[in-house]
C-alpha cells in the first residue's frame, strides 16, 4: 500500500512549535495549495491543509519558515480521532511532513515580507529539511549555507 503526499503551497500561518512531554519537538502549520482550477465564481480554488512535522524538521521549520513562505512538502496523510468536549467524536486529517523544501530565495522572501526574512535565509538556493536524513541539511546551524 502507498501513502504518499507531495504538495507545493504557501504557509497560511507561522509554524507553531511545541514539545511532547518526552521533549520531542512538534511544529504545526496550515498550507494553502491551489487546486489549479477555477470555481463557478471564476476564482481559484484553494485547499487549506494541516501540516505537522516532528523532531529536527519541526525545529527548522519553526526557525526558518513564516506565513506566506513558498514550500514543497513530502509526507504522508494521517487521520486521527478523539473524543471531544460533550463526548462527541472529533476527526482530523493532516499531512505528516517527512521533508520540507524551501522554494523561494532570500530576495523573494524579503520582497514578500517587506524587509528581512527570518534569520539565516539563503541566497536563492532551495534547501531541504528532511526528517529521514537526520533532520536537515549537512550544516544544521546554517541550512542555507550563507552564514
Q: Tell me: the pLDDT tens digits for 36-82?
A: 888 788 888 999 999 999 999 999 999 999 999 999 999 999 999 99
Instruction: Tell me, yes or no, whether 80 lies in a domain.
Output: yes
Instruction: Tell me, yes or no, whether 48 lies in a domain.
Output: yes
What are the tens digits of pLDDT across the range 9-38? Answer: 999 999 999 999 999 999 999 999 999 888
Instruction: Tell me, yes or no, whether 30 lies in a domain.
Output: yes
Instruction: Tell me, yes or no, whether 143 lies in a domain.
Output: no
How many domains does the chain divide into? 1
The predicted pLDDT at position 43 comes to 86
Instruction: Tell me, yes or no, whether 141 lies in a domain.
Output: no
Percentage above 90 pLDDT, the chain: 59
45, 34 Cβ separation under 8 angstroms = yes
Q: How far is the C-alpha of 41 from the C-alpha of 78, rounded, in Å? A: 32
Predicted structure pTM score: 0.75
The predicted pLDDT at position 140 comes to 38
CATH number at residue 65: 2.40.50.140
Give the residue ranges of DSSP H helices in the chain: 55-64, 106-113
Instruction: Tell me, yes or no, whether 105 lies in a domain.
Output: yes
Instruction: Tell me, yes or no, whether 146 lies in a domain.
Output: no
Instruction: Tell me, yes or no, whether 58 lies in a domain.
Output: yes
Domain hosting residue 51, numbered range: 5-36+44-133
Amino acid at each position: 500500500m502507498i501513502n504518499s503526499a507531495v504538495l507545493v503551497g504557501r504557509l497560511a500561518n507561522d509554524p507553531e512549535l511545541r514539545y511532547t512531554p518526552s521533549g520531542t519537538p512538534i511544529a504545526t502549520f496550515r498550507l494553502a495549495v491551489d487546486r489549479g482550477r477555477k470555481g463557478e465564481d471564476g476564482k481559484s480554488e484553494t485547499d487549506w491543509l494541516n501540516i505537522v512535522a516532528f523532531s529536527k524538521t519541526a525545529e527548522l521549520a519553526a526557525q526558518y519558515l513564516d506565513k506566506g513562505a513558498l514550500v514543497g512538502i513530502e509526507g504522508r496523510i494521517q487521520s486521527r480521532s478523539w473524543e471531544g468536549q460533550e463526548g462527541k467524536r472529533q476527526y482530523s486529517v493532516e499531512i505528516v511532513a517527512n521533508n520540507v523544501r524551501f522554494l523561494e530565495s532570500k530576495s523573494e522572501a524579503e520582497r514578500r515580507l517587506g524587509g528581512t526574512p527570518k534569520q539565516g535565509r539563503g541566497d536563492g538556493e532551495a534547501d531541504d529539511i528532511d526528517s529521514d536524513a537526520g533532520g536537515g541539511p549537512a550544516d544544521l546551524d546554517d541550512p542555507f549555507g550563507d552564514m
